[in-house]
């Protein structure tokens, strides 16, 4: 068994264990330097948190455990191909590589369809399902100007 399979088996085990705990069938682990540094499982219904997907939970745990918001040098093993939110979180976290087991079609087949979000992202703003309207840009820019001028900021 390759070490990659070992890590994926742990992510899959997290997904199975999570069902018994009342959560969704999704698990993930984050690996750095050949060791698991964090695990995560879907806590959407348990925590009443729609953003608590397995990958997001694993990223939060890894960042906390490593005391770093930048997870470059890490790889994520997820029991299912990431949804657009998790994929974005993985990019924001600067994770080096994604390994997945189930496909998004496998997820769709059991009632977890995220393909509509992938489709939405490609649409012009005015054609999206959730209305999105710009308001008070000039006032909103104040924070950006302050940020631009701040000299002791933590860039990320
Ligand atoms: Zn997700």
pLDDT tens-place string over residues 57-69? 999 999 999 999 9
The CA distance from 26 to 67, in Å, is 25
Distance 133 CA to ligand 1 centre (A): 25
* pLDDT surpasses 80 at 146: yes
* pLDDT surpasses 90 at 105: yes
The CA distance from 98 to 101, in Å, is 10
3-state class of 96 per DSSP?
Answer: coil
Please state whether 64 falls in left (phi above 0), alpha (psi between -120 and 50) or beta. Answer: alpha
* pLDDT surpasses 80 at 1: no
Mean pLDDT over 108-115 rounds to 94
Inter-residue contact 19 to 37 (CB < 8 Å): no
Distance 69 CA to ligand 1 centre (A): 19
* pLDDT surpasses 80 at 103: yes
Catalytic residue among 5, 17, 39, 55: 55
Inter-residue contact 81 to 109 (CB < 8 Å): no
* pLDDT surpasses 90 at 79: yes
**pLDDT of amino acid 98:** 98
The CA distance from 156 to 87, in Å, is 18
Mean pLDDT over 83-103 rounds to 98
Average pLDDT, the chain: 97
Distance 135 CA to ligand 1 centre (A): 29
pLDDT band at 36 (very low <50, low <70, confident <90, very high): very high
Any idea what DSSP says for residue 82? P
Indicate if 39 belongs to the active site: no
3-state class of 8 per DSSP?
Answer: helix
Distance 57 CA to ligand 1 centre (A): 10
Mean pLDDT over 116-144 rounds to 96
**Domains in the chain, ordered, with CATH?**
4-149 (3.40.140.10)
The CA distance from 23 to 44, in Å, is 7
pLDDT band at 125 (very low <50, low <70, confident <90, very high): very high
Distance 53 CA to ligand 1 centre (A): 5
**pLDDT of amino acid 124:** 96
User: Which residues are close to ligand 1, an ion, with C-beta < 5 A?
Assistant: 53, 83, 85-86
């Amino acid at each position: 068994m390759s070490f990659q399979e070992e890590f994926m088996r742990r992510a899959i085990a997290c997904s199975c264990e999570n069902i018994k705990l009342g959560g969704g069938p999704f698990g993930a682990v984050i690996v750095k330097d050949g060791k698991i540094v964090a695990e995560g499982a879907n806590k959407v219904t348990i925590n009443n948190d729609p953003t608590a997907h397995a990958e997001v939970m694993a990223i939060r745990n890894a960042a906390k455990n490593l005391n770093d918001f930048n997870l470059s040098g890490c790889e994520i093993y997820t029991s299912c191909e990431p949804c657009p939110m998790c994929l974005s979180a993985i990019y924001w976290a600067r994770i080096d590589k994604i390994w997945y087991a189930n496909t998004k079609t496998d997820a769709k087949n059991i009632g977890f369809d995220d393909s509509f979000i992938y489709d939405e992202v490609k649409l012009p703003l005015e054609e999206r399902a959730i209305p999105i309207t710009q308001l008070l840009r000039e006032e909103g820019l104040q924070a950006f100007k302050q940020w631009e001028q701040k000299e002791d900021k933590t860039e990320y």
